[in-house]
Amino acid sequence: MANTFYIVRHGQTNWNILGKTQGHGNSDLTEKGVEQANELAISLANNHKIDYIFSSDLGRAVQTANILGEGIGIKVCETPALREMGFGKWEGLLIDEIKVNYADIYNTWRNEPHLVEIPEGETLHIIKDRVDNFINELNSKYDNKHILLVTHSVTVRVMLLSFLNSGMENIYRIKQDNTALNIVEYRDYGPVIIKMNDTTHIKNNEKINNSALE
């Protein structure tokens, strides 16, 4: 069980720019998002040997993963295990709209995110169980492989917190920019985070800080 995981958030989307909440709902990559993915593909091809690519089955992640797969020369395998947290009634809403219409729930999301229950949405613990099971499946199936996972902001943070045996209440203590690269090595004593939120592959980086997680 000595796999190395390269965990990537999808490229910039139209909803990212607008500040709309993205969960299971989808928004296509912007021109900038495509550029970010292409730049990451070049960096991965030049610096890392990737054996497999798995992607969330949501459109923005698949679009990103396909660009990476074409650049590396590896076929993408889609899976719902890497989906973003479902935000239910919050899907497609601006943060200001959520603050007005779901004030109490939003307050919990900001201060006790591990306790939040968004109407028709998922909890952080559901995401944790989902990704933990998926990582365990990959580790039982592969050994000493380099595996690229293309997923989403909340999902990446949950994965990293889980690797650290840290509680979901710390979700805001980790930042994930579009196409950020995280590298995690599994060793005899467990996972080791080698790199986190690396965006050095992006030539003209633009930070977006209007999401519910910033």
Active site residue 31: no
Residues 6 and 164 sit within 8 Å (Cβ to Cβ): no
Residues in the chain: 214
Reading the block at residue 59, the tokens are 């459109």
Q: Which one is catalytic: 24, 35, 39, 84? A: 84
Q: Which one is catalytic: 10, 24, 152, 201? A: 10
In SS3 terms, the chain reads as CCCEEEEEECCCEHHHHHCECCCCCCCCECHHHHHHHHHHHHHHHHHCCCCEEEEECCHHHHHHHHHHHHHHCCCEEEEHHHCCCCCHHHCCCEHHHHHHHCHHHHHHHHHCHHHCCCCCCCCHHHHHHHHHHHHHHHHHHCCCCEEEEEECHHHHHHHHHHHCCCCHHHHHHCCCCCCCEEEEEEECCEEEEEEEEECCCCCCCCCCCCCCCC
Active site residue 84: yes
**Closest by CA position to 21, among listed 73, 132, 97:** 97
Would you please indicate which residues are annotated as catalytic (active-site) residues? 10, 84
